[in-house]
Amino acid sequence: EALIAAAAEAGIRITLLDTCYLAAGFDQPLEAHQLRFSDGTAQAWAERAEALRPDGNTRIGAAAHSVRAVPARELPTVVEWARHRRAPLHAHLSEQPAENA
């Protein structure tokens, strides 16, 4: 919401890609310093993201942080959220070498 307000104040349009971030690595729980970035589950992320409202200057999209940070079992929720809203969808597919194995 702060980014949307800042864009409005600056008089610019914004596409906000709200990011789902659930794991520190493949099958690795988040570390303590990462917890503030997570909603815990993709469903909880979707419920929070739903509260963000597009308007004439604001477009809301979805992002899966990376293939390591959103487990495969959770990814369909993020994809469906974006598909249902015809929203942009972004994902880092190759952020770290381990993601290419």
pLDDT in tens, 79-101: 999 999 999 999 988 877 877 77
Domain span holding position 77: 2-94
Q: What is the mean pLDDT of residues 14-43?
A: 95
- 49's enclosing H/E stretch is helix 42-50
- The total number of structural domains that make up the chain: 1
Is the pLDDT at 74 greater than 90, yes or no?
yes
pLDDT above 70 coverage of the chain, percent: 100
In a domain, 24, yes or no: yes
pLDDT over 90, % of the chain: 85
* Best CA proximity match to 20, nearest among 36, 38, 33, 35: 38
Specify whether the CB–CB gap between 16 and 52 falls below 8 A. yes
100 found inside a domain: no
